Amino acid sequence: MSQDFMELRGSSVIELRRLDRILSDLARPTLDEASMTPSTRAALLQIGIVVRGEASRPHLIERLWARKRNLLQRQASLGDWGPWQPVA
């Protein structure tokens, strides 16, 4: 990923923050690798990922990173015109 500055706006910021928070929770070491806190399950549900039973943490992390990459690529492709955004 590039180190270029990118200003996210609107719902993208909220989704990116949620993804970062969930990734942080999932990446924390635990005694039982299969366990997941109820707050993490609830956060996953808020972004549309339903977790039933024992979910694979590495698989969830992979899915979340893919989603984060897509979000950042989408934002980068839009460009940052700032207040000079062209209109039709």
**pTM score:** 0.70
pLDDT digits (tens, 9 = 90+) for 3-19: 444 455 567 778 888 99
Question: What single letter denotes the amino acid at residue 40?
Answer: T
What are the residues whose beta carbons fall under 8 Å from the beta carbon of 21, sequence distance 6 or more? 43
User: What are the pLDDT digits (tens) for 28-86?
Assistant: 887 776 678 889 999 999 999 888 877 788 899 999 999 999 988 887 776 655 555 54
> Which pLDDT score, from 0 to 100, does residue 60 have?
92
pLDDT of 24 strictly over 80: yes
Q: What is the DSSP letter of 52?
A: -
Q: Tell me, what's the pLDDT at 88? A: 46
Cα 37–chain centre separation: 18
